[in-house]
Amino acid sequence: MGLDQQNQSKDGRRVTWVGALVNLLLALGKLLAGVYGNSQAMIADAAHSLSDLVTDAVVLLGLRWGRSDPDDRHPFGHGRIETFSSLVVGAVLAALAVGLGYDAISQLIRGDEHHPNWLALAAAVASILAKEALYHYTVRVGRRIKSQAVMANAWHHRSDALSSVAVLVGVAGAMINPAWHSLDAWAALVVSLLILKVGGAVLWDALKEMVDTAPSTEVLEHIKQCALGVPGVQQVHDLKVRSLGGRYQMQVHVVVDGNLKVIQGHDIAKEVERCLEEELQDVDEVIVHVDPAAGQ
């Protein structure tokens, strides 16, 4: 693993460990606040924070093994492990959203009444502030190290903050007017849909990477134009690009003058590699095939 990769992996693990510690403290605090604050919504929110610990563990494993150097048995590296980590995080988010939505609908049907106190209200405010701060910290690191798994975990932090917003609305409403006790369930239902949307997006992106989906047309065109801009390149064809662990791996054929010496064709190929690595972000590997122009 190169020095840059080592630093990125270290930064990703650090922010995830911070998140895990915060999640553990919040889960315990929310559980106590739910029990002594007479809030079923807060107890459910505690379970949400506990689920964050599961995804934290998955992300740590993904970062630990997913950015390891290629070896004899894994010549293309281990980036698929990080992709799988994102897949698990997205699946957990989606499953959690379905569970929260089901509980909210069940409460509305049963007409459950809960009358929480200030302890639950304070815990909801503290959770929102902590998880929103953790989201911004995590998403900043995720963008810098180009890690889908860390980015997915950042959205999990935000989903927990949104869940706490629902709790805050429900608790505050019930404290202001006991007749508004159903507000808690309605808010939880809305938040479950938001979490489902985020989880579905994370899951979809990970699935696309698992099946080697090509990047956008804009990225492909950028690659072609970069290669065509290298002196000596006449045409570009058979471009294949996939994403692995959030980084691009690509193969491209370039057509050059067939009368050139082998060393000259080699130099052109190396210049194409250099161009792509400098012009594009998140490039992991570039393979350039040199073809002679037709009729030569």
Q: Can you give the CATH number for the domain in which 228 is found?
A: 3.30.70.1350
Write down the pLDDT at residue 14.
86
Category of 245 on φ-ψ map: left (φ > 0), alpha (ψ -120 to 50) or beta: left
Do 262 and 197 have their domain in common?
no
Q: Evaluate if residue 1 carries a pLDDT over 70.
A: no
Domain span holding position 21? 3-210
Q: Please say which residue of 210, 242, 269 terminates a domain.
A: 210
**Per DSSP, which regions of the chain are E strands?**
235-244, 247-256, 283-292
Q: Provide Rg for the chain, Cα atoms.
A: 25
Do 151 and 46 have their domain in common?
yes
Q: Does the model's pTM come out above 0.75?
A: no
Give the CATH number for residue 103. 1.20.1510.10
Do 38 and 66 have their domain in common?
yes
What the block records as the tokens of 106 is 């069940």
Do 187 and 262 have their domain in common?
no
Do 123 and 23 have their domain in common?
yes
Do 135 and 67 have their domain in common?
yes
Do 42 and 171 have their domain in common?
yes
Contact (CB, 8 A) for 66 and 85: yes
Category of 282 on φ-ψ map: left (φ > 0), alpha (ψ -120 to 50) or beta: left
Least confident window among 30-39, 57-66, 97-106, 260-269: 57-66
Counting every residue written for the chain, the total comes to 296
Q: Please say which residue of 189, 210, 231 terminates a domain.
A: 210
Do 171 and 234 have their domain in common?
no
Chain centre to alpha carbon of residue 31: 27
Confidence at 200, pLDDT banded by 50, 70, 90: confident
Contact (CB, 8 A) for 242 and 249: yes
Write down the pLDDT at residue 248.
82
* Per-residue pLDDT reduced to its tens digit, 224-264: 998 999 999 999 999 998 877 667 888 999 999 888 889 99
Write down the pLDDT at residue 159.
79
Do 61 and 81 have their domain in common?
yes
Write down the pLDDT at residue 74.
64
Number of domains the chain is built from: 2
Q: Please say which residue of 184, 210, 236 terminates a domain.
A: 210
DSSP 3-state of 120: helix
Q: Evaluate if residue 195 carries a pLDDT over 70.
A: yes
What the block records as the tokens of 20 is 């895990």
Distance in Å from the first CA to the final CA of the chain: 42
Do 226 and 194 have their domain in common?
no
DSSP state of 281: S
What the block records as the tokens of 22 is 């915060």
Residue 236 φ/ψ, nearest 5 degrees: -130, 130
Do 134 and 172 have their domain in common?
yes
Q: What percent of the chain has pLDDT over 70?
A: 88
* Per-residue pLDDT reduced to its tens digit, 147-183: 777 887 888 788 788 878 878 887 888 788 877 767 7
Cβ contacts of 86 within 8 Å, gap of 6 or more? 62, 148, 149, 151, 152, 202, 205, 206, 209
> Tokens 């739910």 belong to which residue?
34
Handedness of CA 63, 282, 268, 240 (dihedral sign): positive
Do 249 and 268 have their domain in common?
yes
Q: Evaluate if residue 209 carries a pLDDT over 60.
A: yes
Contact (CB, 8 A) for 197 and 153: no
Q: Evaluate if residue 24 carries a pLDDT over 50.
A: yes
Mean pLDDT of the chain: 81
Average pLDDT over residues 58-72: 68
